[in-house]
C-alpha cells in the first residue's frame, strides 16, 4: 500500500523502490551468499548471547535462579492506566504479580517444547489487559512485548499460577503467551525435527492471511513479512505446497495449501539491493503497531521482518539491533556535518540507530539523506506534534517528538554486509 504522507522534502517518485535502486551501480548483485548470512547469524548469537538464542542448543534443564531473574526483570508498574484512562487498581496489580508464580520454584526447571498454533501477542506480564503510561495516550501498550507468528518454535519455561499463560523463549525474545495459543510436543526429538524441517516458504508480502478449512478451530492464520512456513511439496508441481503447523492433538498437524507468488517465496530471497528495496516498499503505508501489535510493524519489527526475508536473524529491539553487527560505525560523537559526510559513504540498507528508534537508509537525493522506517510521530514547527503511526519515507531533517532532528539524534550505523 503506497501512501504519500506529504512529509517535507519527500517527492512522489521517492515512494517507489525503483527510484532508489536506479541510483545504484549494480543493485542486482548478490550482497551476501546464504552461507555468509548463516555465518553472520552465528556472529550475532555470539555477540548477544543473552538476547539471541540457538534454541536447539538450549539446555533441557535450567537453574531456577536464572528463571526467577527473567520472570522478575520487567519493571512492575507503580502506576499505570487502562484503555479508559483509569488507574489500574492495586488489587489487580497485586493479583497480576501473584500470577507470575515466581515463588517456590523448583531448584531445577525442566523445559518443555512447543510452537504457536496461531498469531499471538507476547506480553511482559501474564495478562491481556493493556497498560498505558498516561491516561491520555493509549497508543502504546507498555506491556506489549512483540508479535509471534503461527508455527514459531519455542521453549516453554514456566506457567502462570492460573494456568492460562506460559512463559516462553523464542530465538529472539522471551515473555508470556496465552497457553491456548500453544501446542506442546511429546518429545524433544519431534520438536527438533519440526525446528529443522525443510523445505520452507517465506512470506515476502506485507503480510499473508491463509484461510483454513471450516472444521479448524481458527478461521484464518495471519503471518508477518519474513515469517517462515514449514511445508511439504505437492507431487507433480513445483509451485504448490502443503503448509503445516503442529496442533498437539493426536500428532496430526494443521495443513493448508500454499502456492508460490510474489508474496510467498521458496526459501529465502537472494540478498540484493533490488530485493531489499522491493521488500521495504511493500510495507510503505502499513499502520504502525507498538510491539508489533495486531501484526503491524513498529520500527524494530519493520527492520527485523525486512531482513528475515533474506535469512537474517536480527534481534527484536532497536537498541539490541544496534549492537548486532561487527561492522558498526559510531556516530553519536560527531557533529551533524560530519555525520552527513559519513552517511554519504554508507551502503543502502544500512540500519541507522538513534535512541529508541531504528531506520533503513535509502540513500541521498538533492543533498539530503533519506530513510524508510515505521514512525509513530514527529514534530512540525515548534510545538505541533503529528502522530503519523505508519511506515513512511522521510529525510533526516525530520524532527522527533522531542524537537531534535533525526540526523542530530543518530548514534550509530549498522552495516549488514
Identify which has the larger pLDDT, 78 or 257.
257
Instruction: Please give the average per-residue pLDDT across 145-164, as a whole number.
Output: 98
391 φ, ψ (degrees, to nearest 5): -75, 130
Instruction: Please give the average per-residue pLDDT across 259-269, as a whole number.
Output: 97
Query: Three-state SS for 80?
Result: coil
Closest residue by Cα to residue 77 from 85, 67, 89, 66: 89
Q: Tell me: the pLDDT tens digits for 185-207?
A: 999 999 999 999 999 999 999 99
Instruction: Please give the average per-residue pLDDT across 44-56, as a whole number.
Output: 95
Instruction: Please give the average per-residue pLDDT across 60-85, as a whole number.
Output: 93
Cα dihedral across residues 90, 93, 99, 101: positive or negative? negative
Domains of the chain from N-terminus onward: 12-32+269-414 (3.90.1720.10), 55-187 (2.30.30.40), 200-266 (2.30.30)
65 φ, ψ (degrees, to nearest 5): -65, -40
pLDDT at residue number 335: 96
Statement: residue 248 has pLDDT above 80:
no
pLDDT at residue number 250: 64
- Which band of pLDDT confidence, cut at 50, 70 and 90, is reported for residue 267? very high
Q: Tell me: the pLDDT tens digits for 295-340?
A: 899 999 999 999 999 999 999 999 999 999 999 999 999 999 999 9
From residue 195, how far is each of 153, 171, 185, 223 by CA, in Å? Answer: 6, 11, 11, 17
From residue 81, how far is each of 74, 246, 333 by CA, in Å? Answer: 17, 37, 38
**In this structure, what is the dihedral angle of CA atoms 360, 366, 367, 369, given to the nearest 10 degrees?**
-10
pLDDT at residue number 246: 93
The answer for residues whose C-beta is within 8 angstroms of residue 237's C-beta and 6 or more apart is none
Instruction: Please give the average per-residue pLDDT across 122-126, as a whole number.
Output: 98
Query: Three-state SS for 366?
Result: coil
Q: Tell me: the pLDDT tens digits for 340-361?
A: 999 999 999 999 999 999 999 9
- Which band of pLDDT confidence, cut at 50, 70 and 90, is reported for residue 251? low
Instruction: Please give the average per-residue pLDDT across 269-292, as a whole number.
Output: 97
10 φ, ψ (degrees, to nearest 5): -105, 115
pLDDT at residue number 5: 55
**Angstrom distance (rounded) from CA 37 to CA 413:** 19
Amino acid at each position: 500500500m503506497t501512501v504519500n504522507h506529504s512529509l517535507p522534502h519527500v517527492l512522489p517518485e521517492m515512494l517507489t523502490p525503483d527510484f532508489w535502486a536506479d541510483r545504484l551501480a549494480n543493485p542486482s548483485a548478490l550482497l551476501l551468499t546464504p552461507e555468509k548470512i548463516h555465518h553472520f547469524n552465528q556472529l550475532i548469537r555470539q555477540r548477544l548471547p543473552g538476547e539471541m538464542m540457538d534454541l536447539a542448543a538450549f539446555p533441557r534443564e535450567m537453574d531456577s535462579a536464572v528463571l526467577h531473574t527473567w520472570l522478575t526483570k520487567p519493571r512492575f508498574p507503580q502506576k499505570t492506566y487502562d484503555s479508559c484512562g483509569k488507574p489500574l487498581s492495586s488489587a489487580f496489580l497485586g493479583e497480576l504479580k501473584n500470577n507470575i508464580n515466581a515463588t517456590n520454584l523448583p531448584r531445577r526447571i525442566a523445559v518443555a517444547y512447543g510452537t504457536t498454533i496461531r498469531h499471538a501477542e507476547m506480553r511482559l506480564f501474564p495478562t491481556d489487559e493493556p497498560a498505558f503510561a498516561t491516561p491520555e495516550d493509549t497508543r502504546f501498550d507498555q506491556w506489549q512485548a512483540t508479535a509471534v507468528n503461527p508455527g514459531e518454535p519455542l521453549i516453554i519455561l514456566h506457567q502462570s499460577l492460573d494456568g492460562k499463560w506460559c512463559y516462553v523463549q523464542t530465538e529472539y525474545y522471551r515473555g508470556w503467551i496465552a497457553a491456548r495459543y500453544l501446542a506442546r510436543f511429546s518429545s524433544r526429538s519431534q520438536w527438533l525435527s519440526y525446528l529443522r524441517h525443510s523445505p520452507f516458504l517465506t512470506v515476502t508480502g506485507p503480510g499473508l492471511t491463509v484461510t483454513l478449512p471450516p472444521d479448524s478451530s481458527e478461521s484464518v492464520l495471519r503471518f508477518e513479512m519474513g515469517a517462515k512456513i514449514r511445508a511439504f511439496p505437492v507431487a507433480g508441481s513445483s509451485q504448490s505446497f502443503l503448509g503445516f503447523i503442529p496442533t498437539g492433538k493426536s500428532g496430526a498437524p494443521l495443513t493448508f495449501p500454499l502456492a508460490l507468488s510474489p508474496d510467498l517465496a521458496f526459501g529465502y530471497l537472494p540478498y540484493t539491493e533490488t530485493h531489499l528495496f522491493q521488500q521495504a516498499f511493500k510495507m510503505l503505508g502499513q499502520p504502525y503497531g507498538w510491539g508489533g501489535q495486531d501484526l503491524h510493524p513498529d520500527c524494530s519489527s519493520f527492520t527485523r521482518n525486512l531482513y528475515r526475508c533474506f535469512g537474517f536473524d536480527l534481534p527484536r529491539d532497536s537498541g539490541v539491533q544496534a549492537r548486532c553487527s561487527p561492522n558498526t560505525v559510531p556516530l553519536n560523537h560527531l557533529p551533524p556535518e560530519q555525520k552527513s559526510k559519513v552517511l554519504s559513504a554508507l551502503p543502502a540498507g544500512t540500519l541507522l540507530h538513534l535512541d529508541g528508534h531504528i531506520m533503513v537508509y535509502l540513500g541521498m537525493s538533492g543533498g539530503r539523506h533519506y530513510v524508510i522506517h515505521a514512525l509513530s510521530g514527529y514534530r512540525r514547527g515548534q510545538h505541533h506534534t503529528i502522530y503519523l503511526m505508519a511506515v513512511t519515507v522521510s529525510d533526516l531533517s525530520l524532527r522527533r517528538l522531542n524537537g531534535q532532528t533525526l540526523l542530530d539524534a543518530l548514534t550509530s550505523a549498522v552495516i549488514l554486509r
